[in-house]
Structures are given as structure tokens and as C-alpha cells.
């Protein structure tokens, strides 16, 4: 007897638990701090047609929504006739994966009673993939590291040892990188085991019917949500730092009935440096922004993503062409939701937040012995750090919180454990949240120094230094970011730079924009902010009119 709609609803709920266990397995077995500490990953289940039907809540929208497209590329490259039980497929191709070489995507076909019924896929950010390292200085993708084309990591249970040798000989952290590859394979296997147990319980041998139920229900609910948004054309333009020149990000939303199109025509052309964004990543974050504001309660899958149409002119910085450098595509990619939500604000007032710091302030540290003859080992350290989010119509922004990526910050202890550095300071940055009836979230101040015997190079990939987050509806801008030594010497916000032993790197992360006029902020909120050290007495008096 075929499952009923009630059965399918129960199975749908169970699938969320299945993919969450898949993600948890990856976190527990990963070698890289970016995965096990920050959760920079994605995990999901796909049907035989390579359509994502369930994704883990754990993970980033960029990974998840880009991975939703990438599995189709795997099927096209491998070919249905070459998909075998026990296979595992791999790539980090930026244009067929999730946007840059540091993300490895692995796909495992699911078989039941000898019949292919679907796929599990997972993505993880690895600390090193060779080349120049994680940073924006490359002139072509070829300089940014090892590109693994869509290929078989394992065929019918036999791991491709030659592929592992190539990886090991081309990266600085061979054990970490190869270990994370096996972690991805393990997480897909964990998902498969739980899926098989569920299918046993419901006495079902495929997921075709379940997939159609999920996708149609999600598609229908999303289109109904879009239909409730007023029709019209809504534009927004935002200027951000870029690398060597400011970047113009421009979008037009066209909403008609249950259809919505986001077109990035008018956006700046490609950069000579690695801040370019493959269109798959732009689509991922544009969809995420629209879905958060319009249909937040609908589960994320191919059905709920389908109604959002995203286009960008080929060759613009948000639709970079191969072989453009794309290593730090997250910097502009994480700013895509701000420009999209700014356009949506005209259609849905009092719904979307002010602009935030948005782009992660990731820092890749290459620790090297001050004396090359000392024999001290080198180390690669990756830190994820976040500024403040924009204030919301009814709530303050969140401090030191990653939006839109949603990743966590690695703990200081975990970071210091993997390399010879000391994090001397990690404080909220007083006064960095944009003033408003609702205050923007605060950034933070971080100070880092190499341990005795070491210098370190760091790859800066920071934005919102020259163009801080704008407030909304009368709210003020958040504080701009800053990069300097503790001595006060200014450093560049992008590119590889040296910090010698005894010097401290100081990062001042940007704050989010405020929402509404500052004079409308309740006195008690100002008092609470002042007492907590979130604003200065001077700001309380001069901006908010608070005077004891």
C-alpha cells in the first residue's frame, strides 16, 4: 500500500533528523576548526533527479543553496551509467561547487536493494588547498590552489589512492585536508544508514513519492507567500570596499503575482583580485535573503528555492567567469543579502533589518619561524570573526554575530591550540552599533600576537572599512572596521601582510546600522546600554540626549 499524505508528513519530519545527524557526524569527525568549531558546512539529501529534498539546519546558506545546484553537475559529469553502489564523488570546482577552492563537496549515491534511489551530499571548508592560501591576492583561480574536477573519490568502495597522493603533495596541511575529505564521506554514510532505517520502518523502497510530496508542498507554499508581496519594481544600490576600488552592487526586484526576479544588472565588473563571486554563490545568498523575508517558515529545499529567479550579467563581479580569482568570494557574497533586502524594504516596509557588517572577518594566519634555521614547524590558522548585525524594526541588532552566513566563531582556546599564536583581546567594541530607535549590533576588537620564535603573515579579507553599514528609516550607520597594529600603524583591509614577533595585530570589526531615529529610543534602553558598556556616556548624551 502506498504511503498516505500523513505518512509522508511524518517521513518529511524524520528526514530533518536524518540530515542533522549527517551534519553532526561531519562536525564530530572533521579535522579543520572551520568545520568542527564554526560549522562552515552543509549536508543534505537529494532525489534521483538531483533535487534537494532536505537540508540540515546546521550549516551556511551559501554552502546549502549552492550545493543544491552542484549535485546536478555531478550527475551530468559522472553519467547515470557510471553510478555504482559504494561510489563517492568529489569536487571543489568553484563554478560547479560552492564558489571557491577551499570548499570540498562530496556526493554519495544511495542504493536500496540494488536500485539507485537518491544522493547524500556534504560540503566543508578546508583550512588549506594549496596555492597562495586563503586570501584575495591571486590574479587567476590557478594561483588559488588545487582544483579537483568532478571525479570519483571512491568507486564501488575502493578509495582513489592516486587522488589522495595528488592532494597530499599540493597542500600545506595534508592530514587535515585529507582527513576532512574522509569526514565528508563518513557524514554521507551516516545519513544513508539513518535513511535506510527509516525506509525499513515505513516499508518503502524509494523516495520518489516522498520527494514529490515535499517539493510540491514547498513550492506551493512559497509561491503563495510571494503572492502576498505587493507587485512592482524595486531597486537598490550599495557601494562596498572591494579590493583596489569600490564595488557597486545593484539589484532590481520585479514582483508580479507569485513570481519574483532579482536582477543584478548594473553591478560592477570583475576585479583583478580574488573578491569575484561565481553566480552560483550569488544565487545562493540572494535566494536566502528573499526567502528569510518572504517565506521563512517554509523548509529549504529545491521546491522552495525554485520560485526565486536570480540573474546577473555574465562577467560582472557577482557572476565571475572562469578563470577569475574567487578565493574570498564570501566577502561580496555575504553582502548580497543587504543589497537585496534594501530593495525589498520598499515593498515590505517595517520587515527587513538595516545593513550589517555582514561579511565575515575571516583571517588566515601563516605562522613561520622568525629564524628559518630554528627548525620550528610552520602552521596555518584560520579564524572566523563577526561584526554586528543591522537593527531590526522592533529589536536591536545582534552583536558579534554572523549574518547571513550563520557560522559560529571558533573559541580562542581551539584557535590557539592549532597554531603558535596568542589572542590577547576579544571584546565587544563600545559604540560601534549604529544609533537608532533600535541600535545596531556591536562589532568586536581582537588582538593577536605570535608566540616566541614566530612571525606571522595574515591574509586580510575585510570589508565595511570604507563603506560602513547604513541605517534604515533614520537610523545611523554602524562604525566602520579598522585594521592596524596595536602601536597604531594602519594596515590594509585586504591582502597578505606581515606581523613580526612582538607586534600585535588589532582588528576593529564593524557594527550594524541602526533602525529608526535615535531620538525615538526609549530612555531605559539607553540607560541599559550605558550600564552595559555598549555605548559611551558621550554618545548617550550627544546622540540620544541622555543626561544624568
CA distance 327 to 320: 12
Q: Given pLDDT bands bounded at 50, 70 and 90, which one contains residue 186?
A: very high
Q: Which residue has the cell 531605559?
A: 524
| β-sheet bridge partners, residue 427 | 445
Identify whether the C-beta of residue 250 lies closer than 8 Å to the C-beta of residue 235: yes
The rounded distance, in Å, linking the Cα atoms of 442 and 321 is: 36
Q: Do 360 and 215 fall within a single domain?
A: no
Domain residues for the domain of 500 are: 353-548
Question: Is residue 433 over pLDDT 80?
Answer: yes
159/11 same-domain check = yes
Q: Beta 308-311 vs 259-263: how paired, if at all? A: parallel
* Residues 69/283, Cβ–Cβ less than 8 Å: yes
For residue 52 the three cell numbers come to 534537494
Residue listed under C-alpha cell 576579544 = 426
Of 219, 239, 259, the residue that ends a domain is 219
- The most distant pair of C-alpha atoms in the chain lies apart, rounded to whole Å, by 77
Residue 548 has pLDDT above 80, yes or no: no
510-525 mean pLDDT: 97
Vertex 194, ends 192 and 198: CA angle to 5°?
115
Q: Residue 261: what are its φ and ψ, rounded to 5°?
A: -125, 130
Last residue of a domain, one of 170, 196, 219: 219
To the nearest whole number, what is the mean pLDDT of the chain? 96
Q: What are phi and psi of 114, to 5 degrees?
A: 80, 0
Can you give the pTM of this predicted structure?
Answer: 0.96
Helix, strand, coil shares of the chain as percentages rounded to 5? 30, 25, 45
Q: Which three cell numbers stand for residue 478?
A: 554602524
Give the pLDDT confidence of 285-294 residue by residue, as tens digits: 999 999 999 9
> Measured between alpha carbons, how far is 1 from 128 in angstroms, rounded to an integer?
51
Q: Is residue 363 part of a domain?
A: yes
For residues 212 and 359, membership in a common domain is answered with: no
Assess if residue 169 is contained within a domain: yes
Does residue 245 sit within a domain?
Answer: no
Reference 403, options 389, 420, 415; nearest CA is 389
Pairing mode, strands 41-47 and 52-55: antiparallel
Per-residue pLDDT tens over the stretch 265-282: 999 999 999 999 999 999
Tell whether 255 is covered by a domain: no
Domain membership of residue 418 (yes or no) is: yes
Q: Kindly state whether residue 201 falls inside one of the protein's structural domains.
A: yes
What is the predicted pLDDT for the residue at 58?
84
What is the per-residue pLDDT across 35-72, written as a single tens digit (0 to 9) for each? Answer: 988 999 999 999 999 999 999 988 899 999 999 999 99
Domain contains 251: no
Note if the bond before 424 is cis, omega within 30 degrees: no
Percent of the chain at pLDDT > 70 equals: 100
Domain count, the chain: 2
Q: E strands, 132-228, where?
A: 151-155, 158-159
Locus of grid cell 547524500 = 120
Which of 249, 250, 473, 252 has the alpha carbon at shortest distance from 354? 473
Report if residue 527 sits inside a domain: yes
The set of residues, in sequence order, having a beta carbon less than 8 Å from that of 176 and lying 6+ positions away, is 31, 32, 126, 127, 128
**Using an 8 Å Cβ cutoff, are 143 and 72 in contact?**
no
Render pLDDT for 140-175 as a digit per residue (tens, 0 to 9): 999 999 999 999 999 999 999 999 999 999 999 999
Which residues share a beta bridge with 380?
Answer: 366
From 165, 198, 219, the end of a domain falls on 219
Query: Do residues 46 and 194 both lie within one domain?
Result: yes
How would residue 1 be classed by pLDDT, with cut points 50, 70 and 90? low
Amino acid at each position: 500500500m502506498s504511503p498516505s499524505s500523513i505518512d509522508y508528513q511524518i517521513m518529511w519530519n524524520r528526514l530533518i533528523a536524518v540530515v542533522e545527524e549527517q551534519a553532526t557526524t561531519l562536525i564530530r569527525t572533521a579535522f579543520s576548526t572551520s568545520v568542527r568549531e564554526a560549522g562552515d558546512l552543509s549536508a543534505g539529501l537529494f532525489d534521483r533527479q538531483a533535487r534537494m529534498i532536505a537540508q540540515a539546519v546546521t550549516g551556511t546558506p551559501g554552502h546549502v543553496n549552492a550545493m543544491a545546484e552542484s549535485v546536478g553537475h555531478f550527475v551530468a559529469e559522472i553519467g547515470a551509467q557510471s553510478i555504482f553502489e559504494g561510489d563517492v564523488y568529489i569536487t571543489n570546482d568553484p563554478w560547479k561547487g560552492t564558489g571557491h577552492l577551499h570548499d570540498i563537496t562530496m556526493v554519495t549515491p544511495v542504493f536500496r536493494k540494488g536500485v539507485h534511489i537518491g544522493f547524500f551530499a556534504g560540503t566543508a571548508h578546508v583550512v588549506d588547498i594549496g596555492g597562495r592560501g586563503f586570501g584575495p591576492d591571486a590574479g587567476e583561480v590557478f594561483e588559488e590552489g588545487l582544483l579537483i574536477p568532478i571525479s570519483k573519490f571512491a568507486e564501488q568502495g575502493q578509495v582513489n589512492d592516486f587522488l589522495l597522493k595528488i592532494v597530499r603533495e599540493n597542500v600545506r596541511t595534508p592530514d587535515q585536508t585529507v582527513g576532512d575529505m574522509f569526514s565528508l564521506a563518513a557524514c554521507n554514510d551516516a545519513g544513508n544508514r539513518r535513511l535506510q532505517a527509516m525506509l525499513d520502518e515505513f516499508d518503502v523502497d524509494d523516495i520518489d513519492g516522498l520527494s514529490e510530496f515535499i517539493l510540491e508542498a514547498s513550492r506551493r507554499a512559497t509561491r503563495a507567500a510571494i503572492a502576498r508581496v505587493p507587485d512592482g519594481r524595486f531597486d537598490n544600490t550599495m557601494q562596498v570596499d572591494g579590493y583596489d576600488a569600490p564595488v557597486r552592487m545593484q539589484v532590481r526586484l520585479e514582483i508580479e503575482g507569485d513570481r519574483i526576479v532579482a536582477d543584478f544588472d548594473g553591478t560592477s565588473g570583475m576585479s583583478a583580485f580574488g573578491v569575484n563571486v561565481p553566480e552560483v554563490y550569488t544565487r545562493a545568498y540572494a535566494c536566502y535573503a528573499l526567502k528569510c523575508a518572504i517565506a521563512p517558515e517554509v523548509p529549504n529545499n529545491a521546491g522552495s528555492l525554485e520560485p526565486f529567479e536570480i540573474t546577473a550579467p555574465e562577467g560582472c563581479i557577482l557572476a565571475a567567469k572562469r578563470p577569475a580569482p574567487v578565493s574570498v568570494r564570501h566577502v561580496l557574497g555575504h553582502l548580497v543579502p543587504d543589497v537585496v533586502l534594501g530593495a525589498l524594504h520598499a515593498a515590505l516596509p517595517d520587515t527587513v533589518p538595516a545593513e550589517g557588517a555582514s561579511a565575515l572577518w575571516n583571517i588566515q594566519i601563516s605562522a613561520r619561524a622568525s629564524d628559518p634555521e630554528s627548525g620550528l614547524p610552520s602552521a596555518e590558522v584560520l579564524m572566523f570573526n563577526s561584526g554586528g548585525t543591522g537593527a531590526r524594526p522592533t529589536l536591536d541588532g545582534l552583536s558579534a554575530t554572523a549574518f547571513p552566513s550563520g557560522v559560529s566563531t571558533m573559541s580562542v582556546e581551539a584557535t590557539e591550540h592549532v597554531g603558535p599564536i596568542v589572542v590577547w583581546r576579544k571584546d565587544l567594541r563600545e559604540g560601534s552599533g549604529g544609533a537608532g530607535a533600535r541600535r545596531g549590533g556591536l562589532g568586536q576588537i581582537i588582538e593577536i600576537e605570535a608566540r616566541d620564535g614566530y612571525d606571522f603573515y595574515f591574509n586580510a579579507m575585510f570589508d565595511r572599512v570604507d563603506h560602513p553599514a547604513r541605517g534604515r528609516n533614520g537610523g545611523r550607520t554602524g562604525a566602520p572596521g579598522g585594521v592596524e597594529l596595536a602601536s597604531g600603524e594602519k594596515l590594509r583591509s585586504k591582502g597578505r601582510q606581515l606581523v613580526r614577533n612582538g607586534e600585535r595585530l588589532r582588528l576593529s570589526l564593524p557594527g550594524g546600522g541602526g533602525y529608526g531615529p535615535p531620538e525615538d529610543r526609549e530612555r531605559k534602553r539607553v540607560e541599559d546600554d550605558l550600564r552595559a558598556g555598549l555605548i559611551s556616556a558621550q554618545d548617550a548624551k550627544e546622540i540620544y540626549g541622555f543626561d544624568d
